Chains A and B, each alone.
Chain A
Amino acid sequence: MNWTIFHEQVFPIRHKLYRFALRITGSVHEAEDVVQEVLEKVWKSSPDHSETVQNWEAWCMTLTRNRSLDKTRSQSLRRTAPLDNLSERRTDNISPADAAENSDLTENIKKMMQQLPEKQRLVMHLRDIEELTYEEVAETLGITLDQVKINLHRARKTMRTMIIEREKVIRS
């Protein structure tokens, strides 16, 4: 591919790709490997294919998602858990004293986010952390706009419920 495009449009988003890979794999080393592989794949892509790409960021994010999911699935490292029992399980395991610590709270919230169902987790990451538009999220994940909104709504609602329940536990 073109060296200028690579350096101006692809290489600068490596941190974004890394965060996305980290969100999916949950492993620093795997996320680093994913970014390396994605960058190599983009760099080695044929000029013909490069000409068809209109949004490099969306394409790289899609590659990152696919590669990360492949890695996660192949190594059985899925960290998602069913949402039904999540809040109960989390609140049961955390003592009020620990929860009072702000650092612990943020760590717990990170874990909560990581335990969201895959689609909700990725939609929330792309929207709330990477600040993509709904259209960009849909393009990156290969889903419809409605699915983006539904998954985002569910993810936020789950987070809100968990935060409120945690607050109740701390106060009690």
Chain B
Amino acid sequence: MFQLKHIEALLEKYWEGETSLEEERLLKAYFASGEVDAGLRSFTPFFQVLKDEQAVQLLKKPVIADLRPQQYNWKPWLAAASVALLLAAGFWWIHRPVTIDPYAVQPIETPAPATQPETTAVPETPQVAMETPASPVSSAKRKMIARQKPNASPQLNEEEEKAMEEIKAALALVSSKLKKGRQEAVKGTEHLDNMDRVFKKKKEGEG
């Protein structure tokens, strides 16, 4: 298995410090084999020591508690994520698609208080009526839109202009109908007042 001459030559190279790592491993294997030639046996303890030393291990474990991975600090990332979320939400809120509520765009002109009797039974129909249609636009948005003048935006394109005109026409029609209805209501109220007076006079006459 091991050729004595080869081993002797390797050993000479070894003492001179000219062997490769492979050759040195071969020498260690030879002296650990138990088949060492009598002439080389005196070197066995030396190679035995090298082998023994390779097996020495650290018995005391390093204090791992001090070597645990540092706790990851999530706070800065959490704060940054919150800010990013808020910014994203704000951006979406500003640029979100808006369904224009035609009823909300045209502010209804309420009649002058002088012309409207305080005792009138006619409710403030315009506002009440306008709440009736279901609208995907929030009240805040409606207020914002309502504050805008119809022709305030110069960036309207043709289609939007046309749509706006149609909306205005529709609103004008609704407005005129409401005005007419209001006049009718005033008349009705006056009629009811007259009827009331008649009933009162009748009661006084009977009394």
Residue ID in chain B nearest A102 by CB atoms: B45
Tell me whether A109 and B45 are in contact (CB under 8 A): yes
Contacts A19-B53, A113-B49 given; indicate if A167 touches B42 (C-beta within 8 A): yes
Minimum CB–CB distance from B26 to chain A (whole Å) comes to 13
Interface residues on A, range: 35 or more
Contact yes or no, B60 A109, CB < 8 A: no
The CA-CA distance from A156 to B49 in the complex, in Å, is 14
User: Hey, which chain B residues are within 8 Å of A113, CB to CB?
Assistant: 49
For B66, what are the chain A residues with a Cβ–Cβ distance below 8 Å? 40, 43
- Find chain B residues with CB under 8 A from A125 CB: 53
CB <8 Å contact, A19 and B62: no
Is residue A60 contacting chain B, with contact meaning CB distance below 8 A? no
CB < 8 Å neighbour of A14 from B42, B49, B62: B62
Chain A residues whose C-beta falls within 8 Å of the C-beta of B48 in the assembled complex: 102, 106
User: A128 → chain B, closest Cβ, in Å?
Assistant: 5
Shortest beta-carbon distance from A153 to chain B in Å = 4
A14 and B43 in contact (CB under 8 A), knowing A110-B49, A153-B16, A153-B17?
no
Whether B57 contacts A128 by the Cβ 8 Å rule is no
> How distant is A36 from chain B, measured CB to nearest CB, in Å?
5
Known interface pairs A19-B56, A128-B24, A153-B17; A36-B45 also in contact (CB < 8 Å): no
Majority-rule SS of B interface residues: helix
Interface string of B54-88 (1 = CB under 8 A from A): 10111010110011010000000000000000000
Interface check A163, CB cutoff 8 A: yes
A43-B67, A106-B49, A156-B17 as given contacts; A18 in contact with B57, CB under 8 Å = yes
| CA–CA, A105 and B52, complex, Å | 13
Q: Does B14 contact A (CB under 8 A)?
A: yes
Of B25, B46, B54, most A-chain CB atoms within 10 Å: B46
Q: Give min CB distance, B8 to chain A, whole Å.
A: 13
Q: Is B15 at the interface (CB under 8 A from chain A)?
A: yes
- Which of B46, B54, B56 has a CB less than 8 Å from the CB of A163? B46
Q: Counting CB contacts under 8 A, is A32 at the interface?
A: yes
Known: A32-B58, A131-B24. A159 touches B67 (CB 8 A): no
Contacts of A109 in B (CB 8 A): 45-46, 49
Given A110-B49, A128-B24, residue A157 in contact with residue B67 (CB < 8 A) = no
Q: Does A24 contact B (CB under 8 A)?
A: no
Q: In whole angstroms, what is the CA distance A36 to B58 when docked? A: 11
Residues of A with C-beta under 8 A to B42: 163-164, 166-167
CB distance from B60 to the nearest CB of A (A): 5
B14: chain A residues within 8 A (beta carbon) = 156
Contact B21 A105 (CB under 8 A): no
Does chain A have a CB within 8 A of B50?
Answer: yes
Is the Cβ of A129 less than 8 Å from the Cβ of B54? yes
Q: Which 7 A-B pairs have the closest CB atoms?
A: A153-B17, A18-B58, A105-B45, A3-B69, A167-B42, A152-B17, A15-B57
- A interface, CB within 8 angstroms of B: 3, 6, 11, 14-15, 17-19, 22, 31-32, 35-36, 39-40, 43, 102, 105-106, 108-110, 113, 125, 127-131, 133, 149, 152-153, 156-157, 159-160, 163-164, 166-167
What would 12 more interface pairs be, CB under 8 Å, given A35-B58, A157-B16, A160-B15? Answer: A6-B67, A15-B57, A31-B58, A40-B67, A109-B49, A113-B49, A125-B53, A127-B24, A128-B50, A129-B54, A133-B21, A166-B42
Q: List 5 A-B contacts (CB under 8 A).
A: A11-B62, A22-B56, A32-B60, A127-B24, A163-B46
